[in-house]
Amino acid sequence: WQRLTEGMRRTSSSLSDSVTGLFTKRRLDDATLEELEDALVQADLGVPTAMRITEAISAGRYNKEISPQEVKAILAGEVEKTLQPVAQPLTIDRAKKPYVILMVGVNGAGKTTTIGKLSQKFRQQGLTVMLAAGDTFRAAAIEQLKVWGERVGAPVLSREQGADAAGLAYDALQEAKANGTDVLLIDTAGRLQNKAGLMAELEKIVRVVKKFDPSAPHATLLVLDATVGQNAMSQVELFQKAAGVTGLVMTKLDGTARGGILVALAAKFGVPVHFIGVGEGVEDLEPFTARDFARAIAG
Ligand code: GDP
């Protein structure tokens, strides 16, 4: 959480400076409330959430003086309330062998890195892990996944560049089943420049996986890069439609001023948030908790 608090400093400090500037020796009048709402929207929390928080702050205090500390405490409380329902751990059902996790997200979001970090966590829990290099579009993605597999002790099933990703996923399922593997993580392509192709490919992978096991994929995790801010909203919509997202991992929360986007996502979609990425290293993946995040954001 040290990393998160430090990383979130860029989100919280701009917000905190606005709050301190606004509420030092000032009454809670319409102009102040409007400026506060603007600051919250600027911090990527989204208009509905910004309005709700502003209302909570003004309730019973209108035309009175309020300290920046009070404002921050209410802000943290409201953010926590918004995040609480979505802060859900990812639980692996050990009865499913393999427990199939489909990883989706646009190129560069941190999908491969997150697969490596998750594999490490599962291995530390004593689970066996297998990886399927389903981003067959990019040779570099296949190579990168192999490097992660070696690092964390997880075999990687791959085919040559351009191979059919759904076919590869099916082979991986068969192999994981035959080997009694606990968790199978399937990487996928994330070419946003070819949306129709991307969606068709994801739909096909899901179809093929279901043919093998109708209860799979048991989790479909969307990896989102926090630094893209509001763009994350349309990514959730796109991937929900193509693959049926069951949970989110938000990466690059270290060193971005746009961490507030997680609050906007929670308010709009209510999709569970399992983990947050706070660095490039294998251990830089933290379970998501509403309270710590809310405190980090309010500064
Ligand atoms: P992919 O294209 O979605 O598979 O993305 P990659 O896993 O290759 O990640 C893209 C870049 O983001 C790499 O340089 C990663 O090291 C970096 N990255 C991934 N997660 C994080 C994170 O949580 N924090 C930071 N600072 N960098 C990250």
Pocket test for ligand 1, best of 251, 282, 285 (most atoms within 8 A of CB): 251
| Structure tokens belonging to residue 167 | 């076919």
Over residues 160-177, mean pLDDT? 96
pLDDT tens digit sequence for 84-104: 999 999 999 999 999 999 999
Q: Is 111 in the pocket of ligand 1 (CB under 6 A)?
A: yes
**Can you tell me whether residue 251 is helix, strand or coil?**
strand
Task: Check residue 25 and give its pLDDT.
Answer: 60
Q: Work out the mean pLDDT of the chain and round it to a whole number.
A: 92
Task: Check residue 299 and give its pLDDT.
Answer: 81
Give the DSSP H or E segment for 177: helix 165-179
Pocket test for ligand 1, best of 3, 106, 113, 223 (most atoms within 8 A of CB): 113
pLDDT beyond 90 at 44? yes
pLDDT tens digit sequence for 13-34: 778 888 887 777 678 889 889 9
| 252 annotated binding-site participant | yes
Share of the chain above pLDDT 70, in %: 99
pLDDT beyond 80 at 171? yes
Band the pLDDT of 10: cuts 50, 70, 90: confident
Q: Are 222 and 247 in contact (CB under 8 A)?
A: yes
Q: What distance in Å separates the CA atoms of residue 128 and residue 181, rounded to the nearest whole number? A: 5
Q: Are 124 and 117 in contact (CB under 8 A)?
A: no
Residue 230: CB partners within 8 Å, gap ≥ 6?
A: 44, 261, 264
Task: Check residue 231 and give its pLDDT.
Answer: 92
Over residues 65-88, mean pLDDT? 93
Sign of CA pseudo-dihedral 25, 28, 31, 34: positive
Q: Is 49 in the pocket of ligand 1 (CB under 6 A)?
A: no
Task: Check residue 64 and give its pLDDT.
Answer: 87
Ligand 1 centroid to residue 271 C-alpha, Å: 22
Task: Check residue 23 and give its pLDDT.
Answer: 76
Sheet holding 285-287, edge to edge: 156-157, 129-132, 183-186, 99-104, 219-225, 247-251, 273-277, 285-287
Sign of CA pseudo-dihedral 10, 19, 87, 189: negative
Residue 90: CB partners within 8 Å, gap ≥ 6?
A: 219, 221, 247, 274, 275
**Closest of 265, 213, 211, 274 to residue 240, by C-alpha:** 265
Task: Check residue 283 and give its pLDDT.
Answer: 94
Task: Check residue 66 and give its pLDDT.
Answer: 86
pLDDT beyond 70 at 122? yes
pLDDT tens digit sequence for 235-245: 999 999 999 99
pLDDT tens digit sequence for 268-277: 999 999 999 9
| Structure tokens belonging to residue 249 | 């991992």
Whether the complex's predicted ipTM surpasses the cut of 0.90 = yes
Band the pLDDT of 62: cuts 50, 70, 90: confident
Q: What are the beta bridge partners of residue 186?
A: 102, 132
pLDDT beyond 80 at 137? yes
